[in-house]
Amino acid sequence: MTLPVGWKLTTIGEVADINRRNPYLRELPDNLNVTFVPMAAVDAFSGMIAAPRIRSLGEVRKGFTPFSDGDVIFAKITPSMENGKAAVAKDLKNGLGFGSTEFHVISAKEGLLSTYIYYFIRQESFRRDAKANFAGTAGQLRVPSSFIGNYPFPLPPLTEQERIVARIEELFTQLEAGVAGLKRIQAALKRYKASVLKAAVSGKLLNGELVIGDGELPKGWRWVTVGDVATKVTDGTHKTPRYVDNGVPFISVNNISSDGIIDFSDCKFITSEEHEYIYKRCNPEIGDVLLTKVGTIGLTAVIKTNTIFSLFVNTALIKPAHEKILPNYLAYVLRYGFISESYEEYISGSTQKFIGNKKITQLPIPLPTLKEQQRINVEVDQRLSVATQVEATVQVGLKRAGRLRQAVLKSAFEGKLTA
């Protein structure tokens, strides 16, 4: 790479200390207050330290990573590193901070601006190279400090570093304003979709708010339970199967989208023999309704494919009695019931929430005639389809903003941003 005049190619280790220990820490009293930063406090997108805690030095002196005002902290463990968790430590209590042992600390030497090196390591290219140099075992992969120390680093004069950082932050501020607008649209779409589902399950024109399980229904409607309108309520295998590279798709919570789609593009696979065993417990067919029931509860999807697949225990399978209820309507009612928290009393668990099959059969359903269900399905499909299209456009915009951020950083460290 050709650098501008006055720049030099060095390494991070030559211009910064990696994981430097402060020899004066041992002389400080245990009752001195310092800032404590767990991994979760570092925002991977903004690079901000959110809601840091105050601890006494005695509490954190051992077993945590020390750093000082102006140091750059960089997550070294997967997946935090790939997600971009890094920050410049600022406004630390008494100028001192302690955090997760999974942070590397980069301390700029004289002639290097902390924010300059922070933006350098925010590049996706740096994180890709870091991932390629992981060391350790599966699930405990980490970036070695030697990788950071030996990494090639383009260094301009300090005044140029200041100009580059100012320009990056100016452009990022503009981008973030656009991103904030897109996220407001996302939030509005989420509220809109919930309002559409609410209208669907309440007769649409019903005055007043309907709470599922308690409320006046439109004429011709009645209260039933899932068990009243389903021929079977079950779930997938309770044992983690052996995964293979190719075989029968194995669907779990992660493969059900918020838009009611079964995503086969990122699923795991099991052998046909294991599928046959699971098939005895649940046999997914066109027209059945899937309901996520562990962790992320309440996402629904109607099976509309002949693709043969198996299910994990965290996903329920409901076979509607088609002479009583249409699959799409059942999926909409269930989704709204969980969104509105009307089904909250049926959910169990503290550390990980779940809903059992028996509780699913007890969920109340406001049931109109089949003709009315069909009309509701058409109306909801049309409105949610428009919302989904807008959401897709917003996602494109957010991804483009991410690419633009990376393009700004690439240009900056090639010496082109302020040229």
The yes-or-no verdict on residue 210 having pLDDT over 80 is: no
Question: Is residue 46 very low, low, confident or very high in pLDDT (cuts 50, 70, 90)?
Answer: confident
Cα–Cα dist 191/47, whole Å: 28
Question: Is residue 158 very low, low, confident or very high in pLDDT (cuts 50, 70, 90)?
Answer: very high
Least confident of 150-159, 198-207, 371-380: 198-207
The per-residue pLDDT for range 4-33, each reduced to its tens digit, is: 999 999 999 999 999 998 888 889 999 999
Average confidence (pLDDT) over 148-153: 96
Q: Domain 8-155 belongs to what topology?
A: Adenine-n6-DNA-methyltransferase TaqI; Chain A, domain 2 (3.90.220)
pLDDT number for residue 278: 82
Top pLDDT among 49 and 108 is at 108
Cα–Cα dist 219/201, whole Å: 13
pLDDT number for residue 115: 96
> Backbone dihedral region of 60: left (phi > 0), alpha (psi from -120 to 50 degrees) or beta?
alpha
The yes-or-no verdict on residue 208 having pLDDT over 50 is: no
Average confidence (pLDDT) over 160-178: 95
Least confident of 16-20, 365-369, 379-383, 393-397: 379-383
Residue-range domain boundaries for the chain: 8-155, 222-367
pLDDT number for residue 207: 38
| pLDDT mean across residues, the chain | 89
pLDDT number for residue 172: 93
Most confident of 22-36, 110-124, 126-140, 382-396: 110-124
Average confidence (pLDDT) over 215-225: 81
User: For the domain bounded by 222-367, which CATH number is listed?
Assistant: 3.90.220.20
pLDDT number for residue 360: 93
Q: How do 310-311 and 248-251 pair as beta strands? A: parallel
pLDDT number for residue 206: 39
Question: Is residue 215 very low, low, confident or very high in pLDDT (cuts 50, 70, 90)?
Answer: low
pLDDT number for residue 350: 79
pLDDT number for residue 205: 38
The yes-or-no verdict on residue 212 having pLDDT over 70 is: no
Question: Is residue 398 very low, low, confident or very high in pLDDT (cuts 50, 70, 90)?
Answer: very high
Q: Do domains 8-155 and 222-367 have the same CATH topology?
A: yes
Q: Is 105:73 a contact under the CB 8 Å cutoff?
A: yes
- The rounded percent of the chain whose pLDDT value lies above 90 is 56
Question: Is residue 214 very low, low, confident or very high in pLDDT (cuts 50, 70, 90)?
Answer: low
Average confidence (pLDDT) over 363-383: 87
pLDDT number for residue 1: 67
Question: Is residue 287 very low, low, confident or very high in pLDDT (cuts 50, 70, 90)?
Answer: very high
